[in-house]
Amino acid sequence: VDLFLDPGAVRPLAGQLYDQLREAIGEGRLRPGDQLTPSRQLAAELSVSRHTVTTAYSRLVAEGFAEGRSGGGSVVAPMPSGSQSASAPGGAGPANALRPARRFRGWAPLYAVPDPPYQFDLSPGQPDPSLFPLASWRRCVTEAVISESLTYGDALGHPGLRRALARWVGRSRSVRASEDTILVTSGAQHAVDLVARVLLEPGDTVAVEDPGYSPVSLLLTALGARVAAVPVDGEGLVVGALPSAARLVYVTPSHQFPLGMTMSMRRRQALLDWAQRHDAAVIEDDYDSEFRYVDRPLEPLQALDGAGRVIYVGSFSKSFSPSVRLGFAVVPPSLAEPLAALRQLIDWHPPAVTQTALGRFIDDGLLDKHLRRTRRAYAERHDLLAEALRGPLSPYLTAGPANAGLHIAAFLRPGLAEDAVRESALSSGIGTMGLQQFYRVMPPQPGLVLGFGAISATALPAAAEALKDVLAVRAGAGHC
Ligand SMILES: Cc1ncc(COP(=O)(O)O)c(C=O)c1O
């Protein structure tokens, strides 16, 4: 800790020293157990008398901020409760003088990395890092590092990657795209952020699915939009319930998040008609459609849309790795320039090396190869979880549609409380995600969103068995 004493100041030197050490302790720069510099040494360093230092130290000890060690010297004491400095994080003084805007009050990150890791990780949306194609990706990254121009790049994204993406998404999903209509983003969420900013006026209404992917509805709220929750049924978004004021509709047609149904062809057509009649835009979030186990995928809204109202959003967070932070949007030509302009003003573009490497990875057929391999692995895990939900878990959980993606949503049987089940599961080392948090207006249904991406096929039956034991105990507790 740097200490600055001013011999010319009115406050005595011992008082100045006490103030600065007290502040360093309060702010956590000096932590409990840290050794205070021996008084003789500090006096020499600061060119003050030893008495000045011992006076400051004695006061810190007297007030409980430091304690003497039997072998001599002093250490910072564990913080007595209520004694945090006015400037400590969480205190009421200068460090907290600034307040976020009203719409951000009370906000905190939604997700944290579990520490320690779960013994059985059934949290959704996590691809398996052990399936990551390390050797081929390393080769693509090395080549990209060598070939990269090391200058600012194109704000729509690296042209090579955009060409590769346009071909790949056209071939694999029938999405109509060209190099000029692809915007490379740092994931799907970022694509929604950029597109919504460019499309919306402050206070505009945006419709989202209910239940739906809450990180997107929260993001739209943060952007100052009015978020209207529209129910989903077995066919996906209930188009008839859309508010006519909606300027933008956000949907997950391939694999509704969190419930898992596919939007029917009838609903797709109805949504496109609605958007045309109401002069609205549609964001189609196709976050995990690479993994489909049961039937053939339906045509994306973007491919069915003859009117240029759909923005197609894709992500590499499930199909490759969430750590690369890459996704993309296929946008109508009318939005490409403003999006590029906005992107340039924010952070210009994603890291060029990662973009170039991904372009190469796609062009060399390595992504297709990776997807063939991971599809097989996830299909096996999907079948195991679906089987457990039909079998041992069925007295406690009713599974929703399970055709695609990396998770299955399941409703808890009446009488089983979601929080209590999740907490008990956690005590048994099982990480799950609750369903209720994804409802906005519709009555929240207690349930679990169970992921099968992050857990191996070998561990899955044991995880299901452990979850069944937790549920059986909770069900018993409910009857008492
Ligand atoms: C519905 C939905 N959209 C998008 C994403 C992925 O977002 P990103 O590409 O920003 O990681 C997820 C991830 O869980 C998701 O569930």
Are the beta carbons of 460 and 381 closer than 8 angstroms?
yes
DSSP state string for 436-469: GGG-SSSPPPPEEEEE-SSS-TTTHHHHHHHHHH
Q: Which residue has the higher pLDDT, 356 or 106?
A: 356
Kindly tell me if the per-residue pLDDT of 205 is higher than 70. yes
pLDDT single digits (tens) 388-411: 999 999 999 999 999 999 999 999
CB-based contacts of 476, cutoff 8 Å, min separation 6: none
Selection from 302, 228, 225 nearest residue 268 by Cα: 302
Residue given tokens 């998040």 in the structure block: 257
Selection from 101, 95, 104, 78 nearest residue 25 by Cα: 78
Q: How confident is the model at residue 80 (pLDDT cuts 50, 70, 90)?
A: low
Kindly tell me if the per-residue pLDDT of 87 is higher than 50. no
How many Cα neighbours within 13 Å face the side chain of 148?
23
- Locate the DSSP E strands across 374-427: 397-399, 407-412
pLDDT single digits (tens) 24-58: 998 888 999 999 999 999 999 999 999 899 999 99
Q: What are phi and psi of 430, to 5 degrees?
A: -105, 120
- 315: three-class secondary structure by DSSP: strand
pLDDT single digits (tens) 266-317: 999 999 999 999 999 999 999 999 999 988 889 999 999 999 999 999 999 9
In our burial notation (b when 16+ CB lie closer than 10 A, e otherwise), range 115-144 reads: eeebebbbbbbbbbeeebbeebbebbbeeb
Across 69-80, average pLDDT:
82
pLDDT single digits (tens) 149-178: 889 999 999 999 999 999 999 999 999 999
Please state the atom number of ligand 1 nearest to the C-alpha of residue 188. 9
- As a whole-number percent, the residues of the chain with pLDDT over 70 amount to 96
pLDDT the model gives residue 447: 98
Mutate to test the pocket of ligand 1, among 123, 189, 261 (most ligand atoms within 8 A of CB): 189
Are the beta carbons of 140 and 361 closer than 8 angstroms?
yes
- As a whole-number percent, the residues of the chain with pLDDT over 90 amount to 83
Burial class (CB in 10 A: 0-12, 13-18, 19+), 256: buried
Are the beta carbons of 455 and 121 closer than 8 angstroms?
yes
pLDDT the model gives residue 480: 43
Residue 260 Cβ inside 6 Å of ligand 1? The answer reads no
- The 10 Å Cβ neighbour count of residue 402 is 23
Residue given tokens 């309060």 in the structure block: 26
pLDDT the model gives residue 93: 60
The closest residue, in CA terms, to atom 7 on ligand 1 is: 188
Residue 289 Cβ inside 6 Å of ligand 1? The answer reads no
Residue 322 Cβ inside 6 Å of ligand 1? The answer reads yes
Across all residues in the chain, what is the average pLDDT?
93
Query: Which H or E element spans position 246?
Result: strand 246-251
Are the beta carbons of 408 and 294 closer than 8 angstroms?
no
Q: Which tokens sit at 46? A: 């600061």
Q: Which residues pair with 267 in a beta bridge?
A: none
Residue 329 Cβ inside 6 Å of ligand 1? The answer reads no
Are the beta carbons of 386 and 105 closer than 8 angstroms?
no
pLDDT the model gives residue 471: 98
Judging by DSSP bridges, how do beta strands 226-233 and 236-237 pair with one another?
antiparallel
Angstrom distance (rounded) from CA 53 to CA 43? 6
Q: Ligand 1 mean position to 288 CA, how many Å?
A: 8
- The 10 Å Cβ neighbour count of residue 16 is 20
pLDDT single digits (tens) 172-182: 999 999 999 99
pLDDT the model gives residue 478: 57
Across 194-202, average pLDDT:
97
pLDDT the model gives residue 86: 44
pLDDT single digits (tens) 110-142: 898 898 899 999 999 999 999 999 999 999 999
Helix 418-427 vs helix 460-479: crossing angle, to nearest 10:
130
